[in-house]
Amino acid sequence: MPTLTLGFSPCPNDTFIFDALVNRKIDTGDLSFDVILEDVQTLNEWAKAGKLALSKVSYGVLPLLLDKYIVLNSGGALGKGVGPLLITNPSTDLSVLPVNKMKIAIPGINTTANMLFSFAYPDAKNKEYKVFHEIEEAVASGKADAGVIIHENRFTYKKKGLVKIMDLGTYWEDTIKTPIPLGGIVGKRSIDAAVLKSVDELIKKSVEYAYTHYPQLAPYVKEHSQEMEESVMRQHIDLYVNNYSADLGDDGKKAVIKLMEIYHQQHPGIPIASTQIFL
């Protein structure tokens, strides 16, 4: 059995999910993995190029990947109250400088965060794309008027003296009435379906293993979050890892399909894939 390349982010939710798998705390049989940790926008770009066999991606980029990849049921981030936040400086007067006129820092063009921002503010076009951990500083320093924050920055922006304009996830939930699909695990269609199903089951077992030992944090989680307080790591895990991470289920799949419908409304020139979406 060949070694499969597997990409995910160094964020606590991903390292929590994959720790048992990549460190062989569970029996992976004859499957082995070559693990690459990268930020999600890099993983999105790599997936568009078909670089990795298995990868975490933003659901916002999924319509561009379905010719090469299929969505696994386990390992993703989807839920309620987990969406990105739009933040600014407290001195910003929205009556003078409305969001549609602002320069907005966004964590990557193909991220779900960008898609959710565009869903809430379709007329806001002045965007600057940055790595997610650069956005707080861009807003605090005035290099951007506002920013869309994800991951652990949800828990740190107030300490930086910044304020929330909108919870973009709440706007999605209130408007669309489904959980928020942030990111999922995709596998190459060229891989045998039986192998992909085995990988999917192993990821589910890895999630279950992590939960049986929680709230203890594995060294693997800590080593990739060295600048983060343990309380923030746990907040991160508690927010982004849930029952949908073990199995998308029907509700999760419906949410992903709804997100893709919104994507095609925003990008009418991109054809809707007719191929199977989920494993």
**Are 41 and 164 within one domain?**
no
Residue 272 pLDDT > 80, yes or no? no
pLDDT of residue 268: 87
Three-point CA angle 206, 62, 252, nearest 5°:
55
Task: Please check whether residue 274 lies inside any domain of the structure.
Answer: no
Interval 116-127: pLDDT, tens: 999 999 999 999
Considering 154, 176, 198, which residue would you say is the last residue of a domain? 176
The model's pTM: 0.91
**Are 59 and 189 within one domain?**
yes
Phi, psi of 78 (to 5 degrees): -155, 140
pLDDT of residue 199: 98
Residue 226 pLDDT > 90, yes or no? no
**Are 191 and 219 within one domain?**
yes
Considering 131, 159, 176, which residue would you say is the last residue of a domain? 176
**What band does 223 get if pLDDT is binned at 50, 70 and 90?**
very high
**Are 126 and 248 within one domain?**
no
pLDDT of residue 82: 87
Interval 144-201: pLDDT, tens: 999 999 988 888 899 999 999 999 999 999 999 999 999 999 999 999 999 999 999 9
Q: Which amino acid is at 210?
A: A
**Are 16 and 63 within one domain?**
yes
**Are 54 and 103 within one domain?**
no
**Are 90 and 170 within one domain?**
yes
pLDDT of residue 228: 84
Query: Mean pLDDT, to the nearest integer, of 188-215?
Result: 97
**What band does 233 get if pLDDT is binned at 50, 70 and 90?**
very high
Top pLDDT among 274 and 219 is at: 219
Say how many domains are in the chain: 2
Task: Please check whether residue 278 lies inside any domain of the structure.
Answer: no
Residue 3 pLDDT > 80, yes or no? yes
**Are 68 and 99 within one domain?**
no
Task: Please check whether residue 143 lies inside any domain of the structure.
Answer: yes
pLDDT of residue 90: 97
Domain around 167: 85-176
**Are 189 and 68 within one domain?**
yes
What CATH number is given to the structural domain containing 171? 3.40.190.10
- Cα 47 to Cα 31: distance, rounded to the nearest angstrom: 21
Task: Please check whether residue 151 lies inside any domain of the structure.
Answer: yes
Q: Active-site positions?
A: 151
Q: What mean pLDDT, rounded, does the chain reach?
A: 94
Q: Report residue 80 as tokens.
A: 């309620």
Task: Please check whether residue 9 lies inside any domain of the structure.
Answer: yes
Task: Please check whether residue 92 lies inside any domain of the structure.
Answer: yes
**What band does 89 get if pLDDT is binned at 50, 70 and 90?**
very high
Interval 35-67: pLDDT, tens: 999 998 899 999 999 999 999 999 999 999 999
**Are 153 and 123 within one domain?**
yes
Residue 279 pLDDT > 90, yes or no? yes
**Are 36 and 164 within one domain?**
no
Residue 1 pLDDT > 90, yes or no? no
Task: Please check whether residue 127 lies inside any domain of the structure.
Answer: yes
Residue 242 pLDDT > 80, yes or no? yes
Interval 4-33: pLDDT, tens: 999 999 999 999 999 999 999 999 999 999
Task: Please check whether residue 126 lies inside any domain of the structure.
Answer: yes
pLDDT of residue 209: 98
Query: Mean pLDDT, to the nearest integer, of 81-89?
Result: 94
**Are 102 and 155 within one domain?**
yes
Residue 253 pLDDT > 90, yes or no? yes
Considering 157, 176, 195, which residue would you say is the last residue of a domain? 176
**131 closest CA partner among 45, 235, 69:** 45
pLDDT of residue 10: 94
Looking at residue 70, the DSSP 8-state letter turns out to be: E
> HEC profile for 146-206?
EEEECHHHHHCCHHHCCEEEEEHHHHHHHHHCCCEEEEEEEEECCCCHHHHHHHHHHHHHH
- Cα 170 to Cα 116: distance, rounded to the nearest angstrom: 10
